[in-house]
Amino acid sequence: MLAERLKRVKYPSVIVCLLPLLLMGCAGSEDTPTLPIKYWDDIEVSVETRPPKVKVGMVEFVVITATKGVKPSNELVVSLRMEGREKWHQAIQDGFLGVYRRVVNVRDPAKDVLAVKLRVKRTEDEKILYFPLAQQQTRAAAAQ
């Protein structure tokens, strides 16, 4: 009976040991395209896309904000739109991690420009940052 218990425990422990290795395979690599980082005072704003390479159609934009590049900026209201279109779409705050998500329609990845409006909650302070989708490049290319 003890041998049967040990057999059952062995497989879950192997899975727990291998899980970090599997998750590392999901992490972004130097080949994952990114948009250039922008700044508003001491807030660093980066944008990731899902799928990683922008294409025509519905694309999820993930806006990551951090004060001085370290502390999550979670006191913001973030809205997105493609420049030239009228309607702003408020992003959904993903916890208190300074991460905001929204799906926006992309018509032409070579010409479209993502406009990101940041507003500090309970104030009138706001800023619009522009991310030309054509500037999306891999981390390796950006480092050169």
Please give the Cα distance from 91 to 82 (Å, whole number).
Answer: 13
Look over the chain and give the mean of its residue pLDDT values, rounded to a whole number: 83
Q: Which domains does the chain have, with CATH numbers?
A: 33-143 (2.60.40.10)
pLDDT given for residue 139 in this prediction: 62
**Residue 84 pLDDT:** 87
pLDDT digits (tens, 9 = 90+) for 23-67: 444 555 567 788 999 999 999 999 999 999 999 999 999 999 999
Select the more confidently predicted residue: 137 or 12: 137
CA dihedral (80, 49, 70, 141) positive or negative: negative
